[in-house]
Each structure stands twice: as C-alpha cells, then as structure tokens.
C-alpha cells in the first residue's frame, strides 16, 4: 500500500523528502542505539580495567611498605623477626607474602562484591595461592615470556586481562606481575627453596627444585576479579530509556525540519553543482583552471603511454600585460584577460583545452598533434593575439604572446615535469624577443642552461631561507712602501645542499636572470655589517673600510635605499667604514635611482668604487657623472701587464686619469711580486689579488 502511495501523483516531492529523511533518521537512530550500547560496554570494561590496575598497584605498594617500614625496622631494632609460621612463634611477624595474603582476604571481604584479589604464584608457598584455573595458567605463561634471565633493572611488565564467564558471572580477570623487588625477599625465597618440604613439593609439580631467584624476576602476581555484569545491568537501566527518548526526539524533530527545508535541498543541489564547477574553473574568464588542466594532462600522458599517441602541452604568457594594468588599472587588465580568453576559445575546439593557470598565464593542451602541428597551431595563436588591438580610454595596446611547447609522448614522465619544461620554453620565448613560439627539446643547449638556472632559483631561495649564504673577504693593501693601510672586499659563496662551497659564477647568473639579486645583496650586506659591528676586521686601518658589490637589479629597486639604511641602524655601524662597488652595467640599469642612492649614501660618508673600469664602452661618461672615490682597474689588464705593452699603457692611462680627477686606483688580479713592483712604479695606489691574500671565509660567532 505504501508503495502504491509513493507512485501516485498526489505524493508530493516534499513528502517524499520528509519520508526519506525520517527513514534515514530511523536507520541512523537504531544504528546509533547499538553503537552507544557497544560504546557503553567498552567504557564499562575500561573502567573495570582501571579499577583492577588500582587494586593491583595498591596491593603491591602495601606489601612494599610493610616490607620496608615494618620488617626492616623490626630487624634493625632486633625486637622480632619475620617467619612463615608466625602463628606458632612468639614475637614473629608474617613474611610479606603472608601479609599480602591476609590483606587481600580482608580487602576482598570488605569490597562488598566490587572486586576480589589474591596473590598467586607458580612457585607459591601455600596451596591456596596456586594457579588453580585456566585463565591463571594461561596468563602466567604470558608473564613468564616477559621475564628475563639476568635483569639489571625493573622489567616493564604488561598485565594480562580478559572478560569471560567466571564463577557464574561475566568477570574481568586481571593478572599483574608482583616481582621480587626487595633483596631481602629474594634472599628469603631462595632460602625456602632449599627446604626439604619445598623440594618435595617441587618434585610433585614436576618442577626442578632449588631455583635461585634474582632481583626483579617473576616471583608472584596479583590476581584481580571484577564482576562487570552488575555494572552492565545498572548502566543499561539508567541509559536505555534516555537513549531511546533522545533518538525519538531527534527523528520527530528533524523530520519536521526536513519538511520546511525541503525546498532548500533543491537549491542546495544547484549550489553544489556551482561549487563543483567553480572548483575546476577560473571565475574571471570562465575557462578551466589549473586543476582541470592537470587532470586533462594526466589523461593525455596515460593515452600517450598506452596507445603511443603524441599530444602537446603549451604555456602562453601575454607580453606587455603589466603595461595595461599599470596604465589603466587591474579592472582593465581583467577585461583584457576575458577578451583574450574568448579569442583562444574561438581558435580551439574539443578535445583541445585552454585553461587559465593564473595571472596572465594560459595553458593549452592539443590532442593528437605532432610537435610540428602544435608549433603551427601556436604560431597562428600568436598571430591572432598580436593582431588583436585592445583600446581602452583612448589607449591603444598591442598585446603579444610568448608560447612554450613541449611534446606529450610515451617518454613523458609526469605532469609536473611537463609543466616545468613548457614553462621553461615559454620563458625562453620571452627571453628571445617575445611574441614567438619556443619548442622544448632535450638536446637544446640554451634550454638546458636555462633549466640549470631554474634549478638554481630554488637552490638560492633555500640557501637564503636556511642562512647558507656565506661571505668571504680579500685584503686590499696600499702599494706604497711602509704604508699599513688595509681594507677588505666582501665576496660571496653559497653552501650547497651537500655541504660543498659553490662559487658565485655558478649561481649569480641564475640570480640575475630570475630577479633574486636584491634578496642576495641584502643577505650579503646583512652578514657583512654584522661582521663589521662585531669587530671581525681587526686589521682595518684608521680610515679603512669594507667594500660590498651591488647589482644593477638592487639599485633599480626604489626601496633598496631604505633597506640598506635599516641594516646600518640594525647593526649600528659607522657608514664611513663602508664602500659600495658598482659596475658600469649596474650604473646604467636605472641612472636616476643609482644617482639618488649614491647621493643619500654620500651624505652618510659612504664611499663608492667603480668596478671593472676599462671594460665598458662608456666608462669615462659614468666616471664623470657618478661621484665615485675609487677606480678598480679590471684584472684583465693587470694579469698580463708584465708581457703586454698595450695593457701596461692602458693601466698607466687609467691611473693618470683617475689621479687627475682626484680618485684612488685599485689594481685587481695581482698574482705575483713582479706585478706588484711594476704597479708601484706606475704609481697605482692599492693592490688586490692572490699574491696579497686569497679569499677567506668570514666566520661569525653565534
């Protein structure tokens, strides 16, 4: 009849929901009832186990106190003695085992059925302490497995317990080791083992007599019995009615709520579908997102391996997108992204996929395309985007796209590897002039170089985070005889993941290419200022200083000046003891910011040196425009100065020019006494190189 009602048109959707919810709650309620009953049983047993543990511990503690405070004092005072047959001997006290037996009997009688316990032992001295049931025999054998032949310290005994029918009741049976802890107890029992009656008894037990006990070994145990059936009866009587009342109220109440919220359930279904869509799509462009892109890529990798098909993964990065944001704002940038998304969707049809990966980056998956076909398709996409003229607020923007392409074939490893390769190829496309397509090929030397550099990006970042940027110093001394003038140039090294020292020419190119030089420069300055503050450079002359190289990237950041000033205040250094070295390339990176930086530092008495002088095409121009104090003559002119007359002439000319302008000169790459002598003749002011000192690590005390 119920089934017929469900099939009738008058049985509304709301009623169906209420019925189903009520039925579900009924099932849950009944299941919950049995779960709670089971949980109740578990709690009762755990509580019974806790009581058994307390009883056993208290019994052992009482015996120990009796042994130490009663028997030891009697023995010390010489007013009595302990004896197993204490009933028949004047002045005798029971031995600890007899005391424990009496205490257990009395405590069990007074417990009013809550628990019973007694001392038991395979080696007992009284028959009523024997292992007289199956549980004790089995549990004792388990305790024996924990025993040790020659224990040197207390053994971590694990108690044995289980719940079973015992003496007609469901009972927790619990056996806890009560080992020979006192030396006197061990000695006493070893003496009893020599008794003829004991030897005879051991023979009747088929046990070899005369056992010699050691401290901490298994001599006895505490057997505890706790009936749990009465506890179950009381708990069930108190809880069953409450449980049934709560579950009934829940079923009725929630069924009523289901009626009122049934319409919302339909809405919730729609919301769930929307959330599922949003989880896999970009909310701005409505394109699939990175999650969908990676899922599709994994599917194509599997297809390539199983069916030997070839597909393509492409990374697309918009050129000049930052210009749109900076000129017209992010809202305009978002509008451009939506329009470009529309253009890409027009060009690509299923099963190809285009996704927005983040920012102005898009991912494209081309199905069943060779690398050549993928290259042709992406060149067409480049052309479409290049020809798309975006106009906003009287601004016309010509947007291009750089695209990196990597093949998905049977040799492809995983999605992460493919995405790194596509990203690397995309970066190369930008690096080679933008608005072009770059195919990733394993044997491409330039791509492999970029791959190494990209690995160094994470390596440098980890080294910065883990404080593995090291600084070295190299002396710069006055060439003039009798002068004790000394200052130091700060050099950088990196401590590799395996503890090796990495030279700067290995990781600096990657830091420069991937815009990490500012972080690196600040780390070097921080460590150098710390060394200066802690008086590490003890050989600095009165007007000596440390020289620190600055990159063009750092000098091109507007906040770099503020950060350097902060580090000066942090380490409380004298700015007059600092010289910053800049190269021509650093100077031309952003002339206005460089000049502003130098001007502010000059106010603090910081010095400046123009490094690698003579190698640039416009060094003389920058020598005139920038307020430097020192010229560092490039080492390429110094190392062959003894044999190359042209190099000598250039060094003399640079030195004369510097002196004419009131500047001091520093010769790099001074590697022999002969070069130093010639520089003295030429009248160069300072020398730096391996002949003066090899770079040494600056080790700061922690």
Q: How, if at all, do strands 353-358 and 361-366 pair?
A: antiparallel
For residues 586 and 512, what is the distance between their CA atoms, to the nearest angstrom? Answer: 11
The CA distance from 544 to 549, in Å, is 17
* Location of each CATH 3.20.20.450 domain in the chain: 456-697
What residue ranges of the chain are covered by domains with CATH 3.30.450?
97-231
Q: Are 29 and 251 in contact (CB under 8 A)?
A: yes
Query: Is 66 strand, coil or helix?
Result: helix
Span of 229-233, 250-254, 314-318 with lowest mean pLDDT: 250-254
Q: Would you state the pLDDT for residue 312?
A: 92
What lies within 8 Å, CB to CB, of 354 at 6+ separation is: 287, 288, 341, 344, 345, 348, 362, 363, 364
The two structure tokens encoding residue 358: 């983040």
Q: Domain 97-231 classified CATH 3.30.450?
A: yes
pLDDT at 592: 82
Q: Is the pLDDT of residue 7 over 90?
A: no
First to last CA, the chain: 85
At 621, which helix (H) or strand (E)?
A: helix 619-625
Mean pLDDT score, 305-331: 88
For 613-672, the pLDDT digits (tens) are: 766 544 566 677 788 999 999 888 899 899 999 999 999 999 999 999 999 999 999 999
Distance CA 446, CA 22 (A): 69
CA of residue 554 relative to chain centroid, distance = 30
Residue 700, both tokens: 């700061």
More confident residue, 496 or 573: 573
88-92, 113-117, 444-448, 602-606: which is most confident: 602-606
Give which of 682, 686, 647, 646 is closest to 666, Cα–Cα.
686
| Mean pLDDT, rounded, for 519-530 | 94
What confidence tier does 353 reach under pLDDT thresholds 50, 70, 90?
very high
Dihedral (CA of 135, 138, 140, 142) sign: negative
Select the highest-mean-pLDDT range: 82-86, 268-272, 514-518, 695-699.
695-699
Q: How far apart are CA 68 and CA 184, in angstroms?
A: 10
The pLDDT-based confidence of 19 (bands split at 50, 70, 90) is: low
- Domain 456-697 bears CATH identifier 3.20.20.450: yes
CATH 3.30.70.270 boundaries in the chain: 290-442
What is the rounded distance in angstroms from the CA atom of residue 310 to the CA atom of residue 408?
A: 6
526 to each of 101, 198, 492, 561, 610, how far by Cα in Å?
76, 83, 12, 14, 22
CB of 670 within 8 A of CB of 679? yes
Could you tell me the sign of the dihedral formed by the alpha carbons of 252, 256, 259, 264, in that order?
negative
Task: Pick 407 or 279 by higher pLDDT.
Answer: 407
- With respect to CATH, is domain 290-442 assigned 3.90.1010.10? no
pLDDT digit string, tens, across residues 236-252? 665 666 666 766 776 67
Question: Tokens representing 453?
Answer: 């550099």
pLDDT, mean over the chain: 83
Q: pLDDT per residue over 183-219, tens digit each?
A: 777 887 787 778 887 788 778 777 777 778 888 888 8
Q: Which of 100, 113, 176 is nearest to 140 (CA)?
A: 176
Q: Could you tell me if residue 112 is left (phi over 0), alpha (psi between -120 and 50 degrees) or otherwise beta?
A: left
Here the tokens at position 19 are: 């019925």
- The burial class, CB within 10 Å (0-12 / 13-18 / 19+), for 442 is exposed
pTM, two decimals, is: 0.48
């Amino acid at each position: 009849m119920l089934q017929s009602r469900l099939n009738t048109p008058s049985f509304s959707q709301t009623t169906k929901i209420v019925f189903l919810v009520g039925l579900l709650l009924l099932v849950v309620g009944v299941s919950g009832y049995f779960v709670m009953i089971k949980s109740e049983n578990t709690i009762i047993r755990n509580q019974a186990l806790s009581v058994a543990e307390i009883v056993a511990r208290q019994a052992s503690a009482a015996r120990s106190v009796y042994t130490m405070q009663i028997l030891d004092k009697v023995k010390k005072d010489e007013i009595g003695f302990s004896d197993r047959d204490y009933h028949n001997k004047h002045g005798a006290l029971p031995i600890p085992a007899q005391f424990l037996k009496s205490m257990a009997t009395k405590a069990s009688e007074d417990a009013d059925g809550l628990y019973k316990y007694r001392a038991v032992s395979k080696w007992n001295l009284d028959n009523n302490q024997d292992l007289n049931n199956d549980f004790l025999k089995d549990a004792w054998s388990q305790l024996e497995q924990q025993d040790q032949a020659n224990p040197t310290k207390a053994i971590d005994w694990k108690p044995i317990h289980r719940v079973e029918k015992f003496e007609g009741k469901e009972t927790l049976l619990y056996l806890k080791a009560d080992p020979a802890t006192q030396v006197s107890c061990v000695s006493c029992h070893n003496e009893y083992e020599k008794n003829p009656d004991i030897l005879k008894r051991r023979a009747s037990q088929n046990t070899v007599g005369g056992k010699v006990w050691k401290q901490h070994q298994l001599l006895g145990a505490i057997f505890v019995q706790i009936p749990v059936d009465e506890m179950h009866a009381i708990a069930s009587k108190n809880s069953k009615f409450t449980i049934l009342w709560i579950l009934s109220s829940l079923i009725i109440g929630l069924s009523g709520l289901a009626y009122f919220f049934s319409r919302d359930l339909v809405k919730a279904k729609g919301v769930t579908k929307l959330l599922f869509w949003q989880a896999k799509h970009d909310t701005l462009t409505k394109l699939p997102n990175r999650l969908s892109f990676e899922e599709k890529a994994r599917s194509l990798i599997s297809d390539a391996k199983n069916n030997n098909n070839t597909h393509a993964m492409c990374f697309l990065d918009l050129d000049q997108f930052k210009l749109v944001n900076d000129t017209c704002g992010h809202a305009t940038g978002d509008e451009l992204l939506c329009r470009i998304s529309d253009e890409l969707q027009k060009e690509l049809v299923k099963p190809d996929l285009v996704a927005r990966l983040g920012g102005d980056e898009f991912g494209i998956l081309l199905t069943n395309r060779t690398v050549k076909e993928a290259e042709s398709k992406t060149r067409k996409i480049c052309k479409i985007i290049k020809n798309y003229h975006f106009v906003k607020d009287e601004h016309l923007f010509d947007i291009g796209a750089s695209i990196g392409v990597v093949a998905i074939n049977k040799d492809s490893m995983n999605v992460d590897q493919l995405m790194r390769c596509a990203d690397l190829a995309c970066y190369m496309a930008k690096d080679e002039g933008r608005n072009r397509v770059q195919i990733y090929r394993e044997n491409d030397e330039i791509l492999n170089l970029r791959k190494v550099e990209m690995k160094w990006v994470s390596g440098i970042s980890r080294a910065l985070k883990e404080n593995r940027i090291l600084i070295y110093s190299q002396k710069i001394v006055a060439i003039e005889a009798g002068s004790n003038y000394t200052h130091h140039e700060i050099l950088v090294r990196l401590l590799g993941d395996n503890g090796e020292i990495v030279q700067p020419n290995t990781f600096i190119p990657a830091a420069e290419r991937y815009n990490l030089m500012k972080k690196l420069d600040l780390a070097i300055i921080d460590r150098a200022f710390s060394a200066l503050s802690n008086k590490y450079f003890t050989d600095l002359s009165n007007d000596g200083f440390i020289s620190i190289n600055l990159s063009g990237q750092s000098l091109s950041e507007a906040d770099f000046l503020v950060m350097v000033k902060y580090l000066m205040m942090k380490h409380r250094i004298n700015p007059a003891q600092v010289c910053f070295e800049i190269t021509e390339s650093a100077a031309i990176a952003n002339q206005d910011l460089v000049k502003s930086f130098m001007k502010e530092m000059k106010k603090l008495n910081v010095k400046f040196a123009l490094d690698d002088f003579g190698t640039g095409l416009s060094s003389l121009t920058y020598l005139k425009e920038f307020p430097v104090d020192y010229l560092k003559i490039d080492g390429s002119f110094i190392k062959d100065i003894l044999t190359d007359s042209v190099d000598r002439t250039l060094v003399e000319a640079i030195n004369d020019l510097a002196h004419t302008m009131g500047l001091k000169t520093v010769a790099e790459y001074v590697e022999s006494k002969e070069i130093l002598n010639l520089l003295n003749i030429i009248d160069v002011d300072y020398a730096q190189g391996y002949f003066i000192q090899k770079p040494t690590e600056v080790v700061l005390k922690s």
